[in-house]
Amino acid sequence: MTPDFEQTIQHNVNILHKLCRVYSNDETEYQELFQDMLIQIWRALPNFRGEAQISTWLYRVCINTALGYRTRAKKTAGKFVPLEENLPSAFSFGLDGKDEQSNRLLKAVRELKPVDRAIVSLYLDEKSYEETAQILGITKTNVATRLMRLKKQLLEKLSAYE
């Protein structure tokens, strides 16, 4: 049975929110990407067969949308109907009013290469190597090797900000 779209979004909204923050460069991009993800989930949800967990499936759709958005961001910039009136203020690009550590971590993740940002986001969201490998279509060994390097890189960046 196809899961309900609204419920799926409500239960997993933080997946979209965090990936949008990680992959956008400003508020407009955040809003566009969030909307783009909603559209792709809406389109793809009827094809969800329940072979993977819904959250794993959502990560796939959202990461693919975010990476696809990069290759077309310049062409569609400003052509979306804005969602500001629909999105509560918590959904935004910046972290104003949040603690300094969260700001630094987000800044450090944003400085990584696009694919590395996905690997780090999945790791920080407690996804196993196997799930990360399934989502990205690479091997578990590849995930493990990259994560070792990325964790080191991330910690170095964070200590440089202090």
Partner 1 sequence: MNEEELKQIWNKDKVAVAPVINFEALQKNMSGWEGKLRRKIKIDIITNAAAYVLLIPAAIYYPEILYLAPFMILIWVWYLWETLRIYRQETGSTESVSTIEYLKTKKRFLENYISRTRYIVFISTPISALVGLYMSGYLPKIWQTPLLLAAILISFELMLIIVVEIYVRKVYLPSIYELKELLNQLDY
Q: Under the criterion CB under 8 A, does residue 1 sit at the interface with partner 1? A: no
| Closer residue to partner 1, CB minimum distance, 4 or 26 | 4
C-alpha 33 chain-centroid distance: 10
Determine the Cα–Cα distance for residues 98 and 100; give it in Å rounded to an integer: 7
Taking the C-alpha atoms of residue 131 and residue 127, their distance in angstroms, rounded to an integer, is 6
152 contacts 128 by C-beta, under 8 angstroms:
no
**What does the angle CA 152 – CA 156 – CA 158 come to, to the nearest 5 degrees?**
120
- Report the helix count and the strand count for the chain, using DSSP H and E: 8, 0
Single residue of 60, 129, 140, 153 touching partner 1 by CB under 8 A: 60
Shortest distance (Å) from residue 142 CB to partner 1: 6
SS3 content of the chain, % helix, strand, coil (to 5): 70, 0, 30
Give yes or no for residue 83 binding partner 1 (CB under 8 A).
yes
| CB 36, min distance to partner 1, A | 7
Token pair 């990476």 in the structure block, residue:
67
Judged by beta carbon, residue 26 or residue 76, the one nearer partner 1 is: 76
Site residues (CB under 8 A) for partner 1, limited to 21-40: 21, 34-36, 38-40
Which residues contribute to the site for partner 1 (CB under 8 A)? 5-6, 9-10, 13-14, 17-18, 21, 34-36, 38-40, 42-44, 47-48, 57, 60-61, 63-65, 67-68, 70-72, 75-76, 79-81, 83, 85-88, 90-91, 95, 98-99, 101-102, 105-106, 113-116, 118, 124-126, 134-138, 142, 151, 154-155, 158-159
